[in-house]
A = this chain, B = another copy of it.
Amino acid sequence: MQQLENHACFGGQQQVWQHPSTSLLCDMRFGVYLPPQALAGQRCPVLYWLSGLTCTEQNFITKAGAQHSAAQHGFILVAPDTSPRGTEVADDAAYDLGQGAGFYLNATQAPWAAHYRMEDYVVQELPALIEAHFPASTHRAISGHSMGGHGALTLALKYPGRYASVSAFSPIVAPSQVPWGEKAFTAYLGTDRSAWQAHDAVALVAQERPERLPLLIDQGLADDFLAAQLRPELLEAACQAAGHPLTLRRHAGYDHSYYFIASLIGDHLAHHAQALGA
């Protein structure tokens, strides 16, 4: 594992690391923010942040301003890249498929199946690595934006007990029913839509579940992708039908950008801190 960046930030350190991933069979980068409490030797809970389409590990760490709240609450922040990367990794010219668009699942279809195993990477490999190399406790929270909000919701629902807390900004809640998701799932998972259900928050909420982890979602009402791609009302209806606890906050005037995330990331960190007793 190789350290690429290290910047003092709010009394802690914002680092970027690169490592050969055994799940993705390529080199991967991730950002990790170590709050002052971690530098002082305390084991800290970890918030995993999953970014949206076209992002790398850089977007969240440079634009969200999350380090401020993480330093207050003593959270480690981990921000992985959004897909496998490299010249040997399958890609597509479109921004919403291939590199930068991994959708946080394990692909089953050629040519994607060889490298696109972001679900294994985010749920298994990365936490094992973080918990071995940094002063991280095994208390985990997960959040994300857009495609990453989809990732956070589906992984938290799919792996009960793995995350103490989950939230999302402007998530794709029903990928099986919207163009971004239909395109990606057809490519990565094939045309049999029954295989898509395990990666669709609306479908997962509708299942019988061993636990009902509360969902916190913030959505801007001036978001250009709201009506066609995000459709939070579908998750709202599914949660209502299943009795799944959901806090869905709609914000007039806010769009899909990091300006929205920055405005509310402090709220999300406070929510996760309360859930984790941090």
Contact = CB atoms under 8 A, between A and B. Distances in A.
B220 A8 contact: yes
Contacts of A212: none
A9 interface: yes
Nearest to A63: B62
B9 A259 contact: yes
B68 A255 contact: no
User: Interface centre among A14, A68, A257, A259, by most B CB within 10 Å?
Assistant: A259
A254 interface: yes
A133 interface: no
A77 to B, nearest CB: 13
A262 B65 CA distance: 8
A67 B262 CA distance: 9
User: Interface centre among A7, A13, A68, A253, by most B CB within 10 Å?
Assistant: A7
Contacts of A163: none
Contacts of A222: 8
A13 to B, nearest CB: 8
B220 A10 contact: no
Contacts of A67: 259, 262-263
Contacts of A255: 7-8
Interface of A: 7-11, 13-14, 62-63, 65, 67-68, 220, 222, 251, 253-255, 257-260, 262-263
Given A8-B259, A9-B259, A62-B258, 4 more contacts: A8-B220, A11-B263, A62-B63, A65-B262
